[in-house]
Structure formats: structure tokens, C-alpha cells
Chain A
């Protein structure tokens, strides 16, 4: 229960952060990605602001034996660079560059879109969820080895073992 409240609270902070920074607006993201055009460096300041907190804090947090409210830290275990990682990042990059939407803003932008009557945002977010669903179906059928806990599809091997 407490962990659910923590998730609600941190999610709210996240939603406020995305909105205050202007990053819910895909036009602002495209303004950053368009280095050859009328460049808007705001996204770099967002990254710097976030990293100002996480770069010092996360190593300290991960040196604790466990999280304050949970049994263990749930972290990705893979270490190697592979085609899945780089190919996935490249596909994401194309979609991000075409639209200016990445997953967090695509969720948050639904609220102002609902208020302002912008169905285009729902078209994007719906397609994004469909893409995630598609990946889950395909990887569930083909790739039996999905070592990363964050991944969709079959449960991690450690959960199956008796």
C-alpha cells in the first residue's frame, strides 16, 4: 500500500516535471532534435537538471543493502551490447524524430490533449501501446531468453525455477 502511494507520488512529480519543462510538447522536442534549424536547447537543460539529482543520488542509493520499502533493487542484469538493444534504440529514434513523442510525454500529453481537443495525441499514444503489445506477442512466441526483468514477454527464468 505504501509502495503504491510512493509510485503515485513519484509519478505525479514526474508528470509535473514533464509539464513544467515543456517536454510534453512534441514541438519542443523536435525543436531540440532539429540541430540544423532554429535550435531550442531546452531539452539539454532538462537532462542536466535531472542528472544533477540522479548522478550523485543513484550511486549512493544503490550502495544501500536494499530499498527502504522493498526487499531488493529491481535492476536490469544484462551487460553486453547487442543488436536488440541497438536496433531497438534505432527504431525508437526514428519514431521519436518523426513525431517528437517519447513514452513519458506521450502519456502525460493526453491530459492537455483532452482539455484542448487534440485527438492526434491519442492516435500516437494508442499506436505506441499497440507497438509495445506487438513486441510482447512476438517476443512471447520467439525469444525464450529474455534475461532482462524490464522486458515484456515470457517471465524471467528466475521466476520459473522451483
Chain B
């Protein structure tokens, strides 16, 4: 529990929620990251610019925070490279097949009370918890 940082979590969450609400209010778009990135791989005309800008914004925001924090332990990866490859393929394919990820289903969808998003969110949180349990605690 030494890692538990509720205030940072809450403040970060408020920022994520504000970004999501603003993008919908101003541009009419849902801030689902898998949809935004995936849409770049088969762009329709006139639809790529805002996606590139949003992804660039994420990188810019992370850049500012990395500067302020001075690098350090911002990211720790414990998973082996072969498992990361498999996991990456599953996350990429699965979020496109399931039409959303933690942001699209988890934030936007729950707030719209979308039945599909509630179901998807329960499934990916449940399966992820089960996966971690099997990896870390299975005999």
C-alpha cells in the first residue's frame, strides 16, 4: 500500500474527466483512446487531423509532466518482452473488436449509461483481475 496516492489519483481523474467532457461539448467527439488511435490507421478524409492533434496533446501533456517530475520512476515495466508483445497485440485487437477501452467504455460509456459500455467495462476489469491473479498467485 506504500504506493497509494488518492489525492493525485483524484486530481488526475478530474483532469481526465474534464478533457473528456470538453472534447464532447466542443467537438462532439468521445475521448476513447483506442478509437482515436485506431481511426488513424484507416483514416477517412478530413477525419485524421483532430486525432493526430489529440494524440500529440497526450504526448505533450506527458512531456510537461516528465519535465516537472524529472523522469524518475514515472514508468516501471515488470513484464518480459515476449509477454509485452502478446499483451500489446491483445490490447490493440481486443479494444478494436470490442469498440473501446478504459476511456471509451470506462469513462464516456459509463457516463452515458450505455448498456454495452457497462458490460464491456465489467468484462475487461474482471478478466484483467483474473489474469493478474493467475500470473501472480496461481500455484
Contact = CB atoms under 8 A, between A and B. Distances in A.
Interface in B110-124: 110-112, 114-116, 119-121, 123-124
Given A109-B75, A132-B95, A21 B44 contact: no
Main secondary structure, interface of B, reads helix
Interface string A111-132: 1110110101101111111111
A32 to B, nearest CB: 9
Interface string A51-73: 11111011101101011111111
For chain A, give the interface size range: 35 or more
For chain B, give the interface size range: 35 or more
B112 A97 contact: no
Given A4-B53, A53-B18, A76 B114 contact: yes
B61 to A, nearest CB: 2
Interface string A73-90: 111101111001111111
Interface in B1-54: 1, 3-6, 8-35, 37-39, 41-42, 44, 49-51, 53-54
A150 to B, nearest CB: 4
Determine which residue in A20, A59, A112, A121 has the highest number of CB atoms from chain B within 10 A of its CB, and name it. A20
Given A10-B19, A93-B125, A129 B94 contact: no
Interface in B64-116: 64-66, 69, 71-79, 81, 83-108, 110-112, 114-116
Given A74-B29, A103-B91, A48 B61 contact: no
Contacts of A78: 99, 116
B89 to A, nearest CB: 4
Nearest to A92: B94
Given A40-B4, A95-B87, A88 B94 contact: yes
Given A91-B98, A112-B66, A34 B132 contact: yes
A128 B88 contact: yes
A128 B99 CA distance: 15
24 contacts: A3-B26, A11-B19, A11-B57, A17-B16, A20-B8, A20-B12, A33-B132, A34-B129, A44-B9, A48-B10, A51-B17, A74-B30, A79-B116, A86-B120, A89-B124, A93-B125, A108-B59, A109-B75, A116-B71, A127-B88, A132-B41, A132-B96, A135-B93, A139-B96
Interface of B: 1, 3-6, 8-35, 37-39, 41-42, 44, 49-51, 53-66, 69, 71-79, 81, 83-108, 110-112, 114-116, 119-121, 123-133, 135-137
